[in-house]
Structure 1
Amino acid sequence: MEIRRLGVDDVPECMKLVTDRGWGWTPAQWEMLLSLGPGFGAFDETGLLGTTLVTPYPEMQAISGVLVGSWAERRGIAGALISNVLDAGPSVLYATDMGEPLYRRLGFHLVGRASEYHGEIAGEAAGVTRRATADDLPAVVALDKAASGFTRDAFWAHVFGGSSVYTPHVAEDGFVCTRVMGETLVIGPLVAPNAAAACEIIADVAAGAGPSRVDVSDPDVEAFLSGKGYEVRGACALMVHGVDDVGGDRTRYFAPASLALG
């Protein structure tokens, strides 16, 4: 088995792993993540066996895309791929229930959890958000760094660029991004001054938009979503390696940019 860096030309093979495992990732997502940081693949004579992606921030790196084909299980491939990138420095990731034991063995520890809420909000938007413009970029970057603890200029340059899958919106002392996956509007990252404001922002961008999803850990936001008829369809553990915890003021960080980006 050989581990080597992935390129855009490898995306079709990555999508075979996505199909095999029933993930919802699209080629555009792979291409975006590969533009933001390196990806690595495990190969043998039959082709691509597994992948992992890294999005580097000055504070730590976000690990994602840990995916191994069903035909290559129980060969230590996921562990080898993750171990291959851990020397780069502190790391953060969201782990599924299946992956959490592996990450614990590799030295990760739990610092939080996020539940995946799915539902729909009828009616019209209240107007507490507006579409962001280029003039909003510096303020959004500053708010994101303060709340998430990540300096991610490259990500925000992509979001505000012409080919982004994200649509940024701003609100008073906060912001939110949305993107469409299939028929579902995915909400995040979301930064707000408090939980009540976060709920207003979610309702604003989700109103009349059809099915939506938001990954949250704040109990007040969870109660709000449950009250709107949202249901939990999964949960992931927020884990770190080489550092005690994630940074930032997490009381203002209500939804991640994605489970891949932190």
Structure 2
Amino acid sequence: MSPTTAEVNIQYRPMLESDFPAAHALSQAVHWRHRPEDWQLLHRLGGGFVAQCDGSVIGTALWWPHGDDHASLGMVIVSPQSQGRGVGRELMNRLLEAIGERNTLLHATPAGQPLYERLGFEVIGKIHQHQGIVASRVPVAPPPGTRLRAAEAGDAAKLAELASRAAGMSRTQVVSELLRIAEGVVIADDNGNPVGFGILRSFGQGDIIGPVVAPDAEHARALLSHLAATRTGSFVRIDMSDEHGLDALLSELGLAHVDTPIAMVRGEAPKVDPGIHQFAIASQAFF
């Protein structure tokens, strides 16, 4: 069957900064909360492609390198009027070609999961999205022998190391960029050495907490409650990993469970360090 005129007119090319307004409009059309500034951060950390038809952007797809061995992809959006024309699959093909042999992670919606499975992705877990207006609550005290303090410029290398061990892949670029634009809190031992940390930044209709990296739920509870307390009365979102053990705290904070995207991988899943855990991710896109 020969392609239709509309399909012939679809062009695919790398995303440019000049595409941000159109990309933002696409995300709004599918009810995603990303701001123009969120698109700028996503593109700054990675790259990707747009689909264009008759001069209008009708699709986007981005990917992010995490060292030489891993990558993630996301922001695969096709305008409602252009869905069902193979645009999403073609964008995915171009992403996977750019990513190459890296083990590749993504978070799938139920609608997108069948396509990703056909492209070789397998389910490895879930992410639990919580959000709401933060309720007033006394922050949880850190465990004995530790204290909370603001992240400092000199912490960047250590925090990136902790995050990389917890995620099983390089987080140096992500952590460095987030510390530059966001608020970071460190939980440190008696010698001042970081044993965990959390980051809060503006996102969507409010703020997002993540990553939260800690040796156990007790340390993570202190980090999360402290960060949330700085936004009492405001809208906050947090994307939690499986088996995080913080449901009671999230409920007390007013952060309701609203969605459960599927975590998938093409290749091998990251090998995490069992001594440190990523309780909350930085983003469903760049993990």
TM score, norm. by length of structure 1? 0.91
> Given that residues 123 and 208 in structure 1 are in contact (C-alpha distance below 8 angstroms), is that contact kept between their aligned partners in structure 2?
no
Shift of residue 126 of structure 1?
5.0
> Given that residues 72 and 104 in structure 2 are in contact (C-alpha distance below 8 angstroms), is that contact kept between their aligned partners in structure 1?
yes
**Whole-angstrom CA distance in 2 between matches of 1:167 and 1:186:** 11
Q: Which residue of 2 aligns with 1:30?
A: 39
Q: Is 1:203 matched with 2:225?
A: yes
Segments of structure 2 that go 5 or more residues without pairing to the other structure are 1-9, 143-147, 189-194
* Residues 135-214 of structure 1: pairs in structure 2 closer than 5 A: 135-161=154-180, 164=181, 166-172=182-188, 173-207=195-229, 209=231, 210=233, 211-214=235-238
> Given that residues 236 and 255 in structure 2 are in contact (C-alpha distance below 8 angstroms), is that contact kept between their aligned partners in structure 1?
no
Segments of structure 1 that go 5 or more residues without pairing to the other structure are none
Residues paired across the two proteins, number: 258
78-87 vs 133-142, which moves further: 78-87
> Given that residues 124 and 208 in structure 1 are in contact (C-alpha distance below 8 angstroms), is that contact kept between their aligned partners in structure 2?
no
Q: Which residue of 2 aligns with 1:133?
A: 152
Shift of residue 160 of structure 1?
2.9
Shift of residue 31 of structure 1?
1.2
Give the secondary structure class of the aligned counterpart of 1:220.
coil
Give the letter for the 1:194 counterpart: D
Q: Deviations over 1:231-262 (max 9, x none)?
A: 2111111111122x123237611011111111
Give the secondary structure class of the aligned counterpart of 2:245.
helix
> Given that residues 187 and 219 in structure 2 are in contact (C-alpha distance below 8 angstroms), is that contact kept between their aligned partners in structure 1?
no
TM score, norm. by length of structure 2? 0.84
**Whole-angstrom CA distance in 1 between matches of 2:110 and 2:137:** 36
Q: Which residue of 2 aligns with 1:123?
A: 137
Shift of residue 168 of structure 1?
1.5
Q: Deviations over 1:38-72 (max 9, x none)?
A: 12101122421100011111221110111110110
Give the secondary structure class of the aligned counterpart of 1:117.
strand
Pair member with larger Rg: 2
> Given that residues 110 and 240 in structure 1 are in contact (C-alpha distance below 8 angstroms), is that contact kept between their aligned partners in structure 2?
yes
Shift of residue 140 of structure 1?
0.3
> Given that residues 199 and 211 in structure 2 are in contact (C-alpha distance below 8 angstroms), is that contact kept between their aligned partners in structure 1?
yes
Give the secondary structure class of the aligned counterpart of 1:176.
strand
**Whole-angstrom CA distance in 1 between matches of 2:150 and 2:94:** 40
User: Cα RMSD (Å) of the superposition?
Assistant: 1.9
* Residues 171 and 239 of structure 1: CA distance in aligned 2, closer, same or farther (over 3 Å): same
Structure 1 segments of 4+ aligned residues over 4 angstroms from their partners: none
> Given that residues 240 and 246 in structure 1 are in contact (C-alpha distance below 8 angstroms), is that contact kept between their aligned partners in structure 2?
no
Q: Which residue of 1 aligns with 2:17?
A: 8
Q: Deviations over 1:208-241 (max 9, x none)?
A: 5133221112251224323554321111111111
**Whole-angstrom CA distance in 2 between matches of 1:5 and 1:204:** 40
